[in-house]
Amino acid sequence: MSDEAASRPGWGVFWMITTGLCFICVTALVKLLGTRIPSAEAAFLRYILGLVFLLPFLGTILKIRMERSTLMLFCARGVAHTVGVTLWFFGMARIPIADVTAMNYLSPIYVTLGAALFLGERLALRRVLAVLAALCGALIILRPGFREVGPGHIAMLVVAICFGASYLLAKLLTDRTNPGVVVTMLSLTVTVGLAPLAAMNWVTPKPYELMILMGVATLATAGHYTMTLAFRAAPLAVTQPVTFLQLVWAVLLGAVFFAEPVDPWVILGGTLIVGAISFISFREAQLKRARLTPNVAQTKV
């Protein structure tokens, strides 16, 4: 992080707030879409419509001669993200928006665990305690035995693992090629991976459903772009806590527009998870280590 970037925390916070609004709007649109369109097909349409934003990078992709190991990493990431995106659309249509948002926060925790298990990242005691706090937050949200844990909640737990794996593979790939190629290859591999799943149970979308999915693709792309602006403007230790606002907006959105009851346990659990992620990010910034723990927004659809 450059001194110039570190001296613009106001802009970093602004762009991260904008990022959060984009992703909350994505969540609202998917909720509005409902369950008529199967989750795999909805995810496929979201990605194929989003390819229009990546056309400038396709020429670069065609000119690159990738090593077999790099191509295998791209394919592995595509598989992990395909499963994650499909289950995200499935869960989003079946459980409250606040639950989805809070459980999305778990992905960076899984990244931290995966980095320790597979990339040799050292887990200090403070990081272990932060991870445990986040997992306690997940238990508070789910409250097994005290509330019904449905298929949507189970799906979101798997989503967090899949997106965490996708992020770790992305970190490996950015050491081998440029970020534009990494993003474009993700969209291509996920689109290809989703195509047969979508074809197995195809439901012809109505014009308004296509418009909703085009809105999802547009806002998701915009969110990822504004997120990069936030990272350029301020350190992660500044921008990470701002992601908590997404949970606040999710609660308000669900209550006002979808008549979802406000669950204080979900807010408490989400707060614990965000606090744990922010602590890990702050410690890594203090130690000036290569950052592995991603921002919550980096593990979105």
HEC sequence for 91-148: HHCCCCHHHHHHHHCCHHHHHHHHHHHHCCCCCCHHHHHHHHHHHHHHHHHHCECCEC
Residue percentage of the chain with pLDDT more than 70:
89
pLDDT value at position 292? Answer: 62
Report, as an integer, the average pLDDT of 133-139.
91
Q: Which residue, among 287, 269, 239, has the nearest Cα to 101 in the 3D structure?
A: 269
Q: Which residue, among 147, 47, 36, has the nearest Cα to 96 in the 3D structure?
A: 147
Residue 178 CA, chain-centre distance (Å), reads 20
Q: Which residue has the tokens 């990494």?
A: 182
- Is 185 strand, coil or helix? helix
How far is 65 from 44, CA to CA, in rounded Å?
27
* pLDDT grade for 274, boundaries at 50, 70 and 90: confident
Measure the CA angle with vertex 136, ends 134 and 142; round to 5°: 110
Judged by average pLDDT, the poorest of 63-67, 92-96, 209-213, 263-267 is: 63-67
How far is 275 from 278, CA to CA, in rounded Å?
5
Report, as an integer, the average pLDDT of 102-110.
87
Q: Which residue has the tokens 């890594």?
A: 284
The whole model's pTM is what?
Answer: 0.82
Contact (Cβ atoms closer than 8 angstroms) between residue 55 and residue 278: no
Contact (Cβ atoms closer than 8 angstroms) between residue 128 and residue 279: no
Over residues 275-288, the pLDDT tens digits come to: 888 887 777 666 65
pLDDT value at position 197? Answer: 94
pLDDT value at position 1? Answer: 44
Report, as an integer, the average pLDDT of 61-65.
73
Per-residue pLDDT at 66 exceeds 80? no
How far is 145 from 164, CA to CA, in rounded Å?
27
Per-residue pLDDT at 138 exceeds 60? yes
Give, rounded to a whole angstrom, the gap between the first and last alpha carbons of the chain. Answer: 26
Over residues 29-55, the pLDDT tens digits come to: 999 998 899 999 999 999 998 888 777
Q: Please give the mean pLDDT across all residues of the chain.
A: 84
Which is more confident, 232 or 73?
A: 73
Contact (Cβ atoms closer than 8 angstroms) between residue 27 and residue 250: yes
Residue percentage of the chain with pLDDT more than 90:
36
Per-residue pLDDT at 160 exceeds 80? yes
